[in-house]
Structure 1
Amino acid sequence: MQPSSPRRRPVRAAALLVSSTIALVGFAALPAAAAPGDVSIDVYTMNDFHGHLEQNLGSGEAGAASIATAFDTFKTANPNSTLVSAGDNISGSPFISQAQQDKPTIDALNLIGLSVSAIGNHELDHGRADLEGRVSDLADFDFISANLFNKGTTDHAFAPYDIQTFDGVKVGFIGAVTEDLTTLVSPAGIDTLAVGGIVDSVNAVAQELTDGTEAPGNEEADVLVLVIHEGAASASANFTDVNTVFGKIVTGTGPYVDAIASGHTHTLYSQSVTVGTKTIPVLQTGSYGSNLGHFNFQVNPITKAISSSTGEIIPLVKPAIPASGGNPAVPAASLYAQDAEVAALVAEAKQTSSIIGREVIGTVTESFNRATLTDVTKENRGGESTLGNEVADGQLWATRDLGTQLAFMNPGGLRTNINYAANPGSPGDVDGSVTYEEAATVQPFANTLFTQTLTGAQIKTVLEQQWQTGQTRPFLKLGINSELTYTYDPAAADGSHVTEIFYLGDPIAADDTFKVVTNSFLAAGGDGFLELANGQGKADTGRVDLDAFRDYIGQNSPLSPDYTTGSIGIANLADPAGTPVAFGTVEPGDSYEFSLSSLVLSGTPVPDTSVRVLFDGVEIATADIDLSIVDLYDEQGRSTVAFSIPEGAADGAHTIAFALNESGLELSYPAQIGEIVVDPGTPGVSVGDPAAAAPGAPAAPPALAATGLDATVPLLGAGLLLALGALLVVRRRRGALTR
């Protein structure tokens, strides 16, 4: 089914090691368990390279040229060596590669000597046809997956395995891709593929490769390595916990394979895992070429029994050492010199891409960032971000002439930040300027923008689908345009988190309709937002998301981040989880306690540290805000607020509000003391032109004036609305959100 030996580039003389401070298993001596005469086989692994061709020592990225030197060095020491990948070699790449459709990355991997790669979700960003055609034609290595099938059949869509032979010992590499594939790439691009269960698919192939029958289409292997684009959520995770995605895979396939090289989660780990009576090495190298994984197998050449199997992580960059105890700081350093041939390829790619990317398209007054985890060097796709919301605003701006009112942006589509500081690697760049390269690196996938009409009920479903319990990332925070706000209860059951949704400050009813814009990935139901595939009148505008964002920045510069959150977690602690907040009729002295969350947007330079409770604008209580980041979720800025209705408060309508001084955010609810008087003569409320923006907000395109959008939102009578306690005022710094 596959070549019996790996494709290998000609072995050049091993380049000079820059440092010898790195331990390698199996080079100085065989492991203690190995028997004399065993064949020593070294399998090196990488994962989630994402086109990071250049060396970036500050972030620990070795660069393609140093990876080439490292692998050449290892292969010179033991010719029975191979390099394999657990997927995501391309796409989601820095501009140097993305500007040229990742051809430089594929060329570099060919030179490095990659022998085979599992298919990652990003290999399919541009669809099956692109992977089977352009990408495979460029690559000197094969792509494998045991759990991708031609839809409606049991036929593998790609080769499920690759066999490589070392001194008579056959090593079989079985590929697999995350079962979440259909939520991670545009479904339209893989509509001819079916994703099978990883455990069943891998085990079926493993048993075929070890059934003792050697025949065409039924090859045999002596050692089996699972190369899988799925991984553990953290290095400390229990790899045999069957309640986790990766734990199920390890415990399910462990009896059939001899090692597992994983990817997808960008996590760094190497563990020996015992499943039943068998112990196997399991590892992942982090991402972006900072490390290589290494398995060593000692195999009896006659019996083909494995006498020893080990795994480890090989760092490619020596980390910086901060100054301490009078000793000066030591900068980060590469552990391997740069291979001249690969370095020349990278330099050429850099020159070509820099010419494309030098154009300055606009300016910003501060950085636009993604949310971060507790480890602030890592993004938090579960956190609301200034960048995600700004991209959504930009997509709405770019399609206002089509009548759009709402926009959603998936966090995984944001691959880096827009930094205010000048890029020292870009000649002529200055603080505050945004180049085409910077914008393209944020959104490297070149999706088109789709419009469709959704009901209020569907919008609620879309927002509920941010909670993805049981997935590696259990919450994905959508970027939203500034006219949209909502409240939610984080403790409610899945499907019941979102309590109220507001457009321009007015509550959205289930049967209201809105024209929505998203990128094509989301419009096809990507990232698990399946409801976005169900809108009416869906149309491809033909406008590319990157071009829209470039024009938005250019025509609305300088842009300033809005640090006000668009969604607030709030729950009356006396009510069941998921109950909308409503005061209704109250009495002086009545006591309340609320939990609040998501009060502080990730990265806010001057965050609020307390929340004020106002009764008719007069402060009656305050509470501290916990600014701790909650990893994987959008809960930064938590507070528990207790207060009582003031004694002596007069009969009539009142307002209870939760206010933040720094951000200017205010949640305002009506309350009534005494009898309610309903005025039947109030048929509705006019909220003004939805295109209107607060001072300083980017203007909509001139074509908006011709859309004829109706600015009047029919509502229940104001008195009845007050009685229901459903009026919410959310004041944000941008957008006309106050009624």
Structure 2
Amino acid sequence: MTVSLRAPARLSCLALALALAGCATTAPGPVTIQLVAMNDFHGNLEPSRYTPVNPDGSKAEPIRAGGIEAVAAALQAWRKQDKDLLFVSAGDLVGASPAMSSLWADEPTIEAMNMLGLRVSAVGNHEFDAGRKELLRQQHGGCDSPRPDKACQMRKDYRGAQFTYLAGNVIDSATGKPFIPAFKIEQVKGIKVGLVGVVLQDTRSVVMASGIAGLEFGDEAAAINRAIPEMRRQGADVIVALVHEGGTTKENPMTPGCSQLTGPVVDIVRKLDPAIRLVISGHTHMGYLCSIEGRTVTQAASYGHLLTRIEMTVQKGVGHVGDIKVENVLMKGGDHPADAKMAAFVAQVKESSRAALGRPIARVAAAPVLRKLNPAGEAPLGNLIADAGLAATRKLGAQIGFMNEGGIRKDLEAGPDKVVSFGQAQEVLPFGNTLVVMDLSGAQIRKLLEQQWARPAAATPSRLQVSEGLRYQWDEKRPPGQRVGAITLDGAALEDSKIYRVVANNFLTEGGDNYPEFVKGANRVDTGVPILDAFIDYLRSIEGQGEAQPSFAAGARVIKAD
């Protein structure tokens, strides 16, 4: 009797071959993915003034840059290199927008972003400018808006954003759940990219309180870290944080590896889970390509002047991120072949807006009128706007006008004949705020002025602009709460116990920009008068004053001690 060993031998060889094959099997090789990021576009569909930085750090001559057509042309060219390019935003796509967008409730900007293939955007504070209801309408579409005179006026079937707004740290206090999604997972070349978004925790201080009633803004890093386990459960190979909070640095915005970044985003980054290697930031309108404790942190200036190109090497399935390469690229018209569809869209919006935007307002003696502050914290344009608010409400007893620096978005430009158009005036004051008149004592006004220096650590610097007739001195060397010296109104010393009638925009009077003393004002009257209307009326009233017109020039109202 013969015993055959051939069949078992064949099985053993097969088993060995399969085992060896299993041993040879490894995770797929690294994959390179491309991202492009923007932030703080603010509805700037057209190019605007930008000052580039030379390689040596010096400032070059200002140019016109940004605008949606330059962005579209660049993305079109880059997608020819990589069709899977992922376009994302770190917030403030809309809000504080020029008239060509804001006239139509920012719907043209949302539509343009749809055309660009934007996938996600962190919510910025300016997305709340018209309130939570309007933000949800911008996301989902429809015409039920708190701005019925603007919504669905260009296109009757506004369909909303095709991208997803993210805000992991914005909680609906009624439900205890996120107001909108915290994250979204996009698949790129087989890699699942988890994108988590947050807005600055201090949003309440820079948005009208009535627009965010019922919402709570939590710690940014905690919200990002809280979302990571669920993103991992859904298969995310890599996680990218979109943070609408930023910092500042004097380093060149085009040079990778900056190491001198300061500001709130630095603390946020240091508290993040080690899984996050890339943070795309916004809010401070700075350009930078920085490194913080081994993480890459970027920001692309504002208004579409720059885009950040990002190349990441990712190991699928193991969550390993290799090299991250970043560059900020200047968006200048003509650098890439035009995107014909976007050019046609912009032409259509311009034509729809032309009559309203081009309407002449008034002739000024000199232009531009600048919003830049002098060392004392005073700006010609700030003085002009404070004067306008006061002039519009004197019949209601107003004696003093205030304007917040952050509410002034652009210099006041004019045409070659020094005639200001409606569009140019609206670019200065795009928010739609109204004027509110109230009573404050002299002691309260002093406290209000002191609050310019009593800022929370994360707050954006802000200086009050004051109307003609009010004068005060300050000395930063003095202790906090004692920096404001002599205050006079029309030459007479301000009396602590005396009541004065004050006017400011409704954002400030709700305590915006961290000025809580405004909330305590008595006998409040919301006039319903838009500050833009008051500004336009004032420009008309001073037209023809010739060289005497710039009585609002900086340097006469606020005096800084040497």
Supply the AA of the counterpart residue of 2:336. Y
Tell me how far apart the structure 1 counterparts of residues 224 and 98 of structure 2 sit (CA, whole Å).
33
- Correspondence 1:116 to 2:120: yes
From 561, 569, 581, the counterpart of 2:550: 561
Instruction: Report what 1:158 is aligned to.
Output: 180
Number of aligned positions between the proteins: 497
Match of 1:455 in 2: 441
Taking only the aligned residue pairs, the percentage that are identical comes to 33
Amino acid at match of 1:506: A
Equivalence for 1:540: 526
In the TM superposition, residue 402 of structure 1 has moved relative to its aligned partner by 1.0
* Alignment match, 2:21: none
Give the corresponding residue for 2:361. 361
Give the deviation of 1:157 after TM superposition: 1.3
Contact kept in structure 2, 1:368 and 1:386, CA below 8 Å: no
Which of 285, 294, 301 lines up with 1:266 in the alignment? Answer: 285
Post-superposition offset of 1:85 = 0.4
- Provide the residue aligned with 2:32 in structure 1: 40
Secondary structure of the structure 1 residue equivalent to 2:525 = strand
Give the direction of change, closer, same or farther, for the CA distance of 1:518–1:63 in structure 2 (3 Å limit): same
Q: Give the structure 2 partner of residue 605 of structure 1.
A: none
One-letter amino acid of the counterpart of residue 63, structure 2:
S
SS of structure 2 residue aligned to 1:180: helix
- For residues 46 and 475 of structure 2, the distance between their equivalents in structure 1, rounded to whole angstroms, comes to 44
Equivalent position SS for 1:71: helix
Check the 8 A contact 1:120/1:177 in 2, yes or no.
Answer: yes
**CA distances 1:318-364 after superposition (whole Å, capped 9, x unpaired):** xxxxxxxxxxxxxxx63212211111111111122221022222221
2:246 is aligned with 1:228: no
Q: Structure 2 CA distance, aligned partners of 1:242 and 1:432?
A: 40
Matched to 1:170, the amino acid is: K
Partner residue of 1:146? Answer: 168
Aligned to 1:290: 305
**Residue 246 of structure 2 is aligned to residue 255 of structure 1:** no
Q: 337-346 or 90-99: which moved more?
A: 90-99
d(CA) in 2 for partners of 1:61 and 1:75?
A: 21
User: What one-letter code is carried by the residue in structure 2 that aligns with 1:44?
Assistant: V
Q: Decide whether aligned partners of structure 1 residues 174 and 380 sit closer, same or farther in structure 2, where only a CA change above 3 A counts.
A: farther
Kindly tell me: are residues 244 and 444 of structure 1, through their superposed partners in 2, closer, same or farther at Cα, counting changes over 3 Å? closer
Contact conserved, 1:280 with 1:309, CA < 8 A, in 2?
Answer: no
Tell me how far 1:384 sits from its aligned partner.
Answer: 0.8
Contact 1:163 1:172 in 2 (8 A): yes
Q: 1:399 is matched by which residue type in structure 2? A: T
Supply the AA of the counterpart residue of 1:269.
Y
Q: Contact 1:367/1:561 (CA < 8 Å) preserved in 2?
A: no
Asked if structure 2 preserves the Cα contact closer than 8 Å seen for 1:370 and 1:380, the reply is no
Helix, strand or coil at the partner of 2:130? coil
Q: How many Å separate the matches in 1 of 2:297 and 2:334?
A: 26
Runs of 4+ off more than 4 Å: 237-243, 379-382, 468-474
C-alpha deviations, 1:190-241, integer Å up to 9, x for none? Answer: 122111111222222224433xxx3xxxx34221111111112125399888
Normalising by structure 2, what TM-score? 0.83
Aligned residue number for residue 9 of structure 2 = none
Cα deviation for residue 36 of structure 1 reads 8.0
Structure 1 unaligned residues grouped into runs of 5+: 1-34, 318-332, 373-378, 423-429, 571-595, 597-739
* Structure 2 partner of 1:629: none
Mark the CA change 1:95 to 1:316 in structure 2 (over 3 Å): closer, same or farther: same
Out of 408-417 and 126-135, give the one that drifted further. 126-135
Alignment of 1:336 onto 2:336? yes
Q: Which residue of 2 aligns with 1:51?
A: 43
Cα shift at 1:412: 1.3
Distance 1:475 1:405 in 2: 26
Q: Counterpart of 1:411?
A: 405
Describe the shift of the 1:355–1:61 C-alpha distance in structure 2 as closer, same or farther (beyond 3 A): same
The normalised TM-score by structure 1 is 0.64
Q: Distance in 2 between matches of 1:468 and 1:59?
A: 37
1:348-387 matched pairs, under 5 angstroms: 348-367=348-367, 369-372=369-372, 383-387=377-381
Relative to its length, the structure with more helix (as a share) is 2
- 2:312 and 2:356 map into 1 onto residues whose CA distance is 46
Alpha-carbon distance in 2 for matches of 1:381, 1:444: 26
Residues 508 and 243 (structure 1), Cα distance of their counterparts in 2 relative to 1, 3 Å cut: same
Supply the distance in 1 between the matched residues of 2:428 and 2:522 (Cα, whole angstroms): 29
CA contact (8 A) 1:411 1:479 kept: yes
Larger mean CA deviation between 282-291 and 82-91 belongs to: 282-291
Helix, strand or coil: the match of 2:271?
helix
1:176–1:185 distance in 2 versus 1, CA, 3 Å: same
Q: Tell me, in whole angstroms, the C-alpha distance in 2 between the residues paired with 1:465 and 1:406.
A: 17
Question: Partner of 1:499 in structure 2?
Answer: 485
- Provide the C-alpha distance between the structure 2 equivalents of 1:307 and 1:36, rounded to a whole number of angstroms: 14
- Aligned mates of 2:219, 2:375 — CA distance in 1: 25
Q: Give CA deviations for 1:583-631 in whole Å, capped at 9, x if unaligned.
A: xxxxxxxxxxxxx3xxxxxxxxxxxxxxxxxxxxxxxxxxxxxxxxxxx
Q: Distance in 2 between matches of 1:531 and 1:239?
A: 39
Larger radius of gyration: 1
TM-aligned CA deviation for residue 542 of structure 1: 1.1
Alignment correspondent of 1:132 = 136
| 1:438-517 aligned within 5 A | 438-469=424-455, 471=457, 475-517=461-503
Change (3 A) 1:132 1:380: farther
Maintained 8 Å contact 2:100/2:357: no
Question: For 2:388 and 2:419, how far apart are their aligned partners in 1?
Answer: 17
